[in-house]
Amino acid sequence: MADRSVLLVTHTGRPEALEAGHEAVALLTAAGLEVRVLAAEADDAVGAGAVAVDPGPEAADGCELVIVLGGDGTILRGAELARPTGTPILGVNLGHVGFLAEAERDDLTFTVDRVVERRYEVEERMTLDVVVRLGAEVIATNWALNEASVEKASRERMLDVVAEIDGRALSRWGCDGVVMATPTGSTAYAFSAGGPVVWPDLEALLIVPISAHALFARALVVAPSSELAVTIQPRTAGAVLWCDGRRTVDLPPSARVEVRRGAEPVRLARLHRPPFTDRLVAKFALPVEGWRGARYERPGTT
């Protein structure tokens, strides 16, 4: 058995991901690392030369890294496997934006070399702990790296909710939903709903109403120690809680969704640390023509 192990998670529904997975397995095993893959993926080309494991909380136990080949959705799936053991995640982007990814498909050989040489750093990202109550009863618990969103299940219906911060009522909204996000999630669903971009090294929580019919319906940024809550009003049916767009809980009338800073962070492996501004520009293809650099002196200045 190899002294070093990694867990490889791949978007097997895409041919280019299978090709990348096969290449990654070959490179890593040639360097002497054990490569684990999920049992459901072991029959694909990505499983050649790899060890199949069950997709449970111990899948990444003893691994140095969880290497994810795919877009942000696949990286969020990798986070579910990595979080129980605190294993860092290294994402290789095969999607469109890939905000959580650290490398691109064309850099796969370079990425594997850095993994083999242990030339990477690890940073922690805030998560959310989510509790759903109905009266005094806890009916569900969950967590999220990006966001917990309360949404309407049917297009023709509107949600009637009361938002709360730190035990005090904020506002009642007739809306399509409410997003409660981390800084990591500020560039995901919260951004699409009109929320601000928050730098990932800033600790904060966001609450963003979606299409709210109210005088005050602005996105808010609050302290990381704050507790957020959204209560479904008694006559409102058809609400659902989504955590990272992957895990759902049906919300009955009068359900209360409580969100606070997560007890367990998610750890991301970084090969380099460019300014977050550069990542924004690259991922969103922002126009920066005409910028001359921070040291450019305007005419007439000294």
Separation CA 155–CA 157 (nearest Å): 6
Separation CA 153–CA 185 (nearest Å): 22
Under 8 Å between Cβ of 176 and 209: no
Strand partners, 297: none
Separation CA 259–CA 129 (nearest Å): 6
* Catalytic residue, candidates 61, 72, 244, 250: 72
Separation CA 65–CA 4 (nearest Å): 10
C-alpha closest to that of 112 among 88, 92, 141: 92
Strand, helix or coil for residue 225:
coil
The DSSP secondary-structure symbol of 18 reads H
Under 8 Å between Cβ of 11 and 74: yes
Separation CA 270–CA 5 (nearest Å): 18
Our answer to whether residue 72 is catalytic in this structure is yes
For residue 264, give both structure tokens: 């367990």
Q: Which residues are catalytic?
A: 72
